[in-house]
């Protein structure tokens, strides 16, 4: 009489080591996916900020082309026809666009400097990318 072979049964089942390796790979893939997703969200915010700054920069140049004697420091964020930038913004905007920071706070744009910059408060520039020529969070070069 033959007895069933125990080694044939163990070959069909997963070992604890194999299950642990599969779980570790899944956790690593999940972690890298979350990291990439966070960095993409930061990049999107930076891209939106740079587009807003480009709109303001373009409006600045159009205003200065119409009024060549006006200095950049005299430009205001109003709809005043002599110094205001709002009539020169695209899509008939009624106010200067704002920028959302990485923490979700709304930041204003300084229009009286050229190129315009994102105001982090008390006149300091907000640029978490750390480079003023990368075209994220700034107009760039």
Instruction: Using the predicted structure, report yes or no on whether residue 23 has a pLDDT greater than 90.
Output: yes
Instruction: Using the predicted structure, report yes or no on whether residue 6 has a pLDDT greater than 80.
Output: no
Contact 103, 41 (CB under 8 A): no
Instruction: Using the predicted structure, report yes or no on whether residue 57 has a pLDDT greater than 60.
Output: yes
Note the pLDDT tens digit of each residue in 62-78: 999 999 999 988 999 88
Which pLDDT belongs to residue 1? 60
- Tokens standing for residue 40: 């993409």
Which pLDDT belongs to residue 25? 95
Note the pLDDT tens digit of each residue in 78-108: 888 888 899 999 888 888 899 998 888 899 9
Which pLDDT belongs to residue 62? 92
- 16: phi then psi, degrees, rounded to nearest 5: -65, -35
Instruction: Using the predicted structure, report yes or no on whether residue 7 has a pLDDT greater than 60.
Output: no
CB burial of residue 59 (10 Å; 0-12, 13-18, 19+): buried
How far is 27 from 19, CA to CA, in rounded Å? Answer: 12
């Amino acid at each position: 009489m033959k007895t069933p072979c125990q080694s044939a049964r163990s070959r069909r089942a997963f070992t604890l080591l194999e299950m642990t390796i599969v779980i570790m790979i899944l956790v690593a893939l999940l972690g890298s996916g979350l990291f990439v997703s966070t960095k993409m969200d930061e990049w999107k915010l930076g891209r939106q900020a740079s587009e807003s700054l480009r709109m303001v920069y373009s409006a600045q140049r159009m205003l200065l082309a119409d009024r060549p004697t006006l200095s950049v420091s005299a430009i205001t964020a109003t709809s005043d026809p002599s110094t205001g930038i709002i009539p020169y913004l695209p899509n008939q905007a009624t106010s200067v666009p704002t920028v959302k920071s990485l923490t979700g706070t709304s930041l204003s744009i300084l229009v009286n400097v050229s190129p315009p910059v994102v105001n982090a408060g008390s006149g300091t520039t907000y640029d978490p990318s750390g480079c003023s020529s990368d075209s994220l969070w700034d107009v760039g070069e």
